[in-house]
Structure 1
Amino acid sequence: MKTSILVQNLKCGGCASTISSKISTIENISNLHIDVEEKKVSFNYLNDADILIVKEKLKHLGYPSIEDNNSLISKANPL
């Protein structure tokens, strides 16, 4: 199956290279494509758990999905 994730902070080829090198090592992920202009990471996966693993890895790398509101400001300002 194929999916795409829109991510925050994806701004250049260096970002794309970092994402590519880290995500490509995840089991069950193939045909990885990163579109810097659209801020989109696309890939093939085997099951839904694979998507969650990729989202967590992206978040850990500093490229959270656009649905994730865990910005540094919100983490620094617990209310």
Structure 2
Amino acid sequence: MQTSLKIQNLKCYGCANTIIKKLSDIKNLSELEVSNDTVAFHYENENTLVEVEELLNSIGYPIEGDKNTLTAKVKSFVSCAIGRLNN
């Protein structure tokens, strides 16, 4: 199945790099793309989709419509910095 998720706090290529690196570790996920405020990918089952959503939230990029807490915003800044350093 293919889907795209609109996410919050995506600011730059550093954020995108972190998201791609973290999501690449998830099994049964392919054709991963991050652009603007969207993460698009193919997945095999609903468990994979839930895992993606939970991981995005844990690194500071909650799905649009979910609560965007101060903690999530701080995590996204840290993820962004790490993504810039690892580029």
Normalised TM-score (structure 1): 0.85
- Structure with larger RCO (C-alpha < 8 A, sep 6+): 2
Counterparts of 2:63 and 2:12, CA distance in 1: 16
Q: Please state how far the C-alpha of 1:72 moved relative to its aligned partner.
A: 2.3
Query: Sequence identity of aligned pairs in percent?
Result: 45
- Of structures 1 and 2, the larger Rg is shown by 1
Q: Please state how far the C-alpha of 1:69 moved relative to its aligned partner.
A: 1.2
Which blocks of at least 5 consecutive residues in structure 2 are unaligned? 72-87
Q: Which residue of 1 aligns with 2:77?
A: none
**Matched length:** 71
Q: Which residue of 1 aligns with 2:43?
A: 45
Q: Which residue of 1 aligns with 2:7?
A: 7
Q: Please state how far the C-alpha of 1:70 moved relative to its aligned partner.
A: 4.5
1:46-78 CA-to-partner distances (Å, cap 9, x unmatched) read 0111111000000000000012114127xxxxx
Q: Which residue of 2 aligns with 1:56?
A: 54
Q: Please state how far the C-alpha of 1:33 moved relative to its aligned partner.
A: 0.2
Counting only pairs closer than 5 Å after superposition, residues 18-33 of structure 1 correspond to structure 2 as: 18-33=18-33
1:6-50 CA-to-partner distances (Å, cap 9, x unmatched) read 000001000000000000110110000001x2x000000001111
Write 1 or 2 for the structure with the bigger share of helix: 2
